[in-house]
Amino acid sequence: MKHRIPVVIVSIALSLATHRALAEPAGAVFPGNEAVRIVNGKRVVEAPPLTKGAQAFLKAGNKFPPPTSNGGAFMVEGADGLLECSSGALSDTGCIQPTLGKTKVRRFWTVKLRGVWLYCPSREQSNKCEPTSAGAPGGMPAPE
């Protein structure tokens, strides 16, 4: 009878972990993204800065289009969660709800690591992340 309690606790923990994994698409959160913090129990998100090209694009009166499956997408954390954007920045017109697990598209995660904004080619930190000021990495269309 003594051995049942640890087994029950482990079963509950595994059940909760499985439920959480099923509730969120795999990789919906980028580990270590300094742009997302919990402050006084509230989720606070720092928006990535606009590049000079994006500033010029918007200043000219243009609006970012929503991302397309053939153009790729930038995954950006917004106030309400992860968004799929046509540029590396948040925008009312250029971001949609993520299609992770539904649509196969080339994605880059826009994240802040060690105080630097980066584009990363996967949901994990790697040496393949590039500073956002360097433009779009790996042949991805420029976000501006």
State pLDDT tens for residues 48-105: 988 888 888 889 999 999 988 777 899 999 988 999 999 888 888 999 999 988 988 8
β-sheet bridge partners, residue 39: 42
β-sheet bridge partners, residue 113: 116
Which secondary-structure segment (H or E) carries 112?
strand 107-113
* DSSP code of residue 72: B
Q: Sign of the CA dihedral 58, 94, 140, 32? A: positive
Q: What is the pLDDT of residue 61?
A: 93
Contacts of residue 98, defined as CB under 8 A and 6 or more positions apart, other chains included, come to: 25, 28, 75, 82, 83, 84
Tell me the pTM: 0.70
